[in-house]
Amino acid sequence: MSLAISGLPGLVLLGSLRHRHRRLSYCLAFLCLLCLGIIFSACGTGGGGGGETPAGTYKIMVTGKSTSGSATLTHATQLTLVVE
């Protein structure tokens, strides 16, 4: 799935470029590989981090703010997250 998101469009672009755009095609290939590296590094196994979230009940405050001209609208609500 992540290959379709980051790599496949780049490969399609690379296939459509002519010889006069060789440098651009190398840059696009590098960017596609960089994107793949970032995506796959984000899908780690949790070996280096804190691991799983401990079971329990957590309170989360969500705040939203919208400004239009001189009017400002702010809303906040508290959510409860239960981790089993």
DSSP secondary structure letters along 51-83: -SPPSEEEEEEEEEEEEETTEEEEEEEEEEEEE
**Owning domain of residue 20:** 2-42
* Nearest one of 53, 57, 52, 62 to 81, comparing CA atoms: 57
In-domain check, residue 24? yes
In-domain check, residue 9? yes
pTM for this model (two decimals): 0.36
In-domain check, residue 15? yes
Helix axes of 8-16 and 22-42: crossing angle, nearest 10 degrees: 170
pLDDT in tens, 10-34: 555 555 555 557 777 788 888 888 8
Please give the share of the chain, as a percent, with pLDDT higher than 70.
Answer: 63
Contact, 30 vs 1, CB < 8 A? no
* Nearest one of 52, 8, 50 to 32, comparing CA atoms: 8
Say how many domains are in the chain. 1
In-domain check, residue 81? no
In-domain check, residue 71? no
